[in-house]
Structure 1
Amino acid sequence: MPDDSRPSPIVFSRGSWAETRRIADVLRKETVGGVLLLAGALIALLWANSPWSASYEALIGFTVGPHALHLDLTLATWAADGLLAIFFFVAGLELKREFVAGDLRDPRRAAVPVAAAVGGVIAPAIIYLAVNRGGATEGWAVPTATDIAFALAVLAVVGRSLPAAMRTFLLTLAVVDDLLAIMIIAVFYTDDLAILPLLGALVPLGLFTWLVQRRVRSWWLLLPLAFAAWALVHASGVHATVAGVLLGFAVPVLPAAGEHGLAEHFEHRFRPISAGVAVPIFALMSAGVAVGGPAGLRSALSDPAAIGIMLGLLAGKPIGILGATWLTARFTRARIDAGLHWIDMAGLAVLAGIGFTVSLLIAELAFGAGSVRDGHAKIAVLAGSLAAALVAGVLLRARNRTYRRVQAEESVDSDGDDIPDVYQH
């Protein structure tokens, strides 16, 4: 007979002190990255709509790289295919760490944020396809992705007193969301597949895996192998960011005797590069759309593709996340942690509608970089993400005041061991 004696899983549960401290460190880096991301996007928008817009187009279209290796790419492509591979490498590390050594190694606790991420992908796609039936259906995946850095930056500004478990939930949801997005890119946005380079990528990937499993940290060995795997995946026609996720999954999480885990080591080294350099530069190279002209704001508002993207982000994301969370909680007997309410979940679900980085990437893949519809899609992503941030900000700001008192109570450390009392009971 099944064992029903185990306690029901708790949504937004506090988790362990070690995991709470680690998540807090991650959030600090991602919050800074979100500010830089926003700065890069604003610079791109202002530049693309200024009298110097021609210099912006010249910058993103400048070609650099070895022609013999078929890597003579524009700077915009280097940002989308190269720098975002670093972003997805860190996402792969984070996801593996959560499910191998984090609080989500219990499948029952992991079920809720994973189901929420899946619901947050399915519902926006359905809404987009409903709006664009018979039209630009290739853009169905644009509103399915949540931007980790941007969403966490907004959460840090409006919700400093919100429970740490809410931040953990959003981080986990966004990382799983990114994994689903990269799977969508690999399956649905790979037009011409070259088998030989793809098979060739298995060689450096296998060597990289063999070395890291033996706890080798030498950058002069690992970086060339990682670059070779990335270049071969790029040459195969599969989007090169897939290589970043595969490399992240190859890194072992559990530590050897007497040392930190290799995943923790790499995450510590590469997360600042991802959040502080890779993602902001991608935003600078991708967010520069002209508000006027044929691809501008007025024409975007009449394009069903743009309307579907905005509705997908602002309505589809919260509907999918809340619906999947409720269904999972119902069938797994999960319950909301004491003192929290479904309105907290609603605020996070709306916040997940900020779909910046990966949404911009999928828009380029779906409609073609620089096309009129790509411009419409980017405007829709920016508008939908901004609207989601504002609505979520109102909801979470109100809840933040409620949790200030709770935060003060949970910070009590009566025995002076640097671990709050609530994590010891």
Structure 2
Amino acid sequence: MSLPSPRRVFARGSYSESVRISEILRSETVGGALLLAATVIALVWANSPIAESYFALRDFKIGPEAWHLNLSLGGWASDGLLAIFFFVAGLELKREFVAGDLRNPARAVVPITAAVGGVIVPALFFVLINLTAGPEVLKGWAIPTATDIAFALAVLAVISTHLPSALRTFLLTLAVVDDLIAIAIIAVFYPGEMHFGFLALAALPLLAFTWLVQKRIRSWYLLLPLAFATWTLVHASGVHATVAGVLLGFAVPVIRSAKRGGPDAGPGLAEHFEHVVRPVSAGIAVPLFAFFSAGVALGGVSGLKSAFTDSVAIGIIAALVLGKFVGVFGATWLVTKTTKATLDDGLAWIDVVGLALLAGVGFTVSLLISELSFGDDSPHYSHAKVAILAGSLVAALLAAVVLRSRNRHYRKLAELESLDDDGDGIPDVFHRPGG
């Protein structure tokens, strides 16, 4: 009697899932390039002779006073545009666990465990470094918890690495899961002044939106007003408005209804919405948020010295570079040791090292949490921005060194795996056992 083979960590997924993940990666890579460009423009403008015009633009208020909607442009970006980003994150996460390869618990346990480790350990690093700095500083404990999907994937594109699709799926899923954990942290630990009446009212348009999408109705003139009403009421309630984006994303069904052919009849509504909204999120919403959030007056050498001697900045950099690595790599290693799982054939632990370092590229959600932690007027906020940029840059460079060393190996392997000798349009590698 043959013994069962050990479970493989980072085993190859299905061909359809590999194609879908590749499409997502291309979209996020373009978004990452735009995000980087917006960040550079903001930094240059905020430190130029006309810096006052940048801050005047960022702080320009627009919108009605009712329901706290008279927001600065920077506020609209962080509260409004990021809701679009988290709507896509909600769609993606639900899609992965309902119809993607991660509906299999054996596949899901690794990226989820790694994401949890990548949230807990960086937070501990920050707290330990700032233990004696006082409660005001400790408010920033959650800043280094999230990995920026767009930036991390943009780094992969620059490296030109031919990472196996399972590793890329791992990175994407890890980033989505820890973003979701981060938004839960925002909802629980960083609420504004709570107004439970508005929160109760928000359930009405949310339920109407849910009913329509469950009926597979995709008419924008019905869904958009309901989505905006949900966002407005959640914002007015004191809960951060980006939570509305996640709730709306979770409401969208993944699988087609039986009347429309069921699960085997093609993409469901969630995948349709993701295809439509992801370019808006990656190409417009997130870069604009970066533009309004990344601009910080560095103040020359003295300003940088002040930033890098602040324990807040030291804690963020250490947490992003070391904490993320220890959390992600350590959690993945523990899964293999406690479940008797092994790395898939052809992979090495050095690949996991590279991904764990790359998980330290934090930006979008980190900037959001730093604003919620310290407020616009605190010097810690400016120092946190500098630290997020510096820590992300160091993590990206270290990851690039590791992953480029594997680039040639995987490029050669990719050439072999692209062979389709039987001419069915699906690479032969997906027909092999375990493929």
Smaller-chain TM-score bracket: over 0.9
Match of 1:278 in 2: 285
1:41-52 matches, within 5 Å, as 41-52=39-50
Match of 1:128 in 2: 126
Match of 1:361 in 2: 368
Match of 1:214 in 2: 215
Match of 1:232 in 2: 233
SS in 2 for 1:140: helix
Q: Which runs of 5+ in 1 are unaligned?
A: none
Question: Per-residue CA shift, 1:37-65, capped at 9, x if unaligned?
Answer: 00000000000000010000000000011
Coordinate RMSD, CA, aligned? 1.4
Conservation of the 8 A alpha-carbon contact between 1:307 and 1:380:
yes
**TM score, norm. by length of structure 1:** 0.97
Taking the aligned partners of 1:191 and 1:133, their CA distance within structure 2 comes to: 25
1:168-179 matches, within 5 Å, as 168-179=169-180
Match of 1:261 in 2: 268
Q: Which shows bigger deviation, 81-90 or 182-191? A: 182-191
Taking the aligned partners of 1:219 and 1:6, their CA distance within structure 2 comes to: 50
Q: Which of the residues 80, 83, 88 maps onto 1:82? A: 80
Match of 1:105 in 2: 103
Conservation of the 8 A alpha-carbon contact between 2:110 and 2:332:
yes
Match of 1:320 in 2: 327
Taking the aligned partners of 1:310 and 1:417, their CA distance within structure 2 comes to: 49
Q: 1:259 to 1:345 in 2, by over 3 A?
A: closer
Conservation of the 8 A alpha-carbon contact between 1:289 and 1:296:
no
Conservation of the 8 A alpha-carbon contact between 2:93 and 2:176:
yes
Taking the aligned partners of 1:370 and 1:87, their CA distance within structure 2 comes to: 26
Once the 2 structures are TM-superposed, how far is the Cα of residue 272 of structure 1 from its aligned partner? Answer: 0.1
1:386-401 matches, within 5 Å, as 386-401=393-408
Match of 1:381 in 2: 388
Identical residues among aligned pairs (%):
64
Conservation of the 8 A alpha-carbon contact between 1:295 and 1:372:
no
Q: Which shows bigger deviation, 412-421 or 18-27? A: 412-421
Match of 1:13 in 2: 11
Match of 2:54 in 1: 56
Q: Which shows bigger deviation, 202-211 or 253-262? A: 253-262
Q: Which of the residues 329, 332, 336 maps onto 2:336? A: 329
Taking the aligned partners of 1:389 and 1:419, their CA distance within structure 2 comes to: 33
**TM score, norm. by length of structure 2:** 0.95
Q: Which runs of 5+ in 2 are unaligned?
A: none
Taking the aligned partners of 1:76 and 1:254, their CA distance within structure 2 comes to: 37
Conservation of the 8 A alpha-carbon contact between 2:161 and 2:404:
no
Matched, 1:416 2:417: no
Taking the aligned partners of 2:48 and 2:4, their CA distance within structure 1 comes to: 62
Question: Per-residue CA shift, 1:138-178, capped at 9, x if unaligned?
Answer: 10000111000000111122143221111111000000010
Once the 2 structures are TM-superposed, how far is the Cα of residue 5 of structure 1 from its aligned partner? Answer: 7.2
Counterpart amino acid of residue 43 in structure 1 = I
Taking the aligned partners of 1:392 and 1:279, their CA distance within structure 2 comes to: 23
How many matched pairs?
422
SS in 1 for 2:405: helix
Taking the aligned partners of 1:259 and 1:338, their CA distance within structure 2 comes to: 31
Match of 1:299 in 2: 306
Counterpart amino acid of residue 129 in structure 1 = V
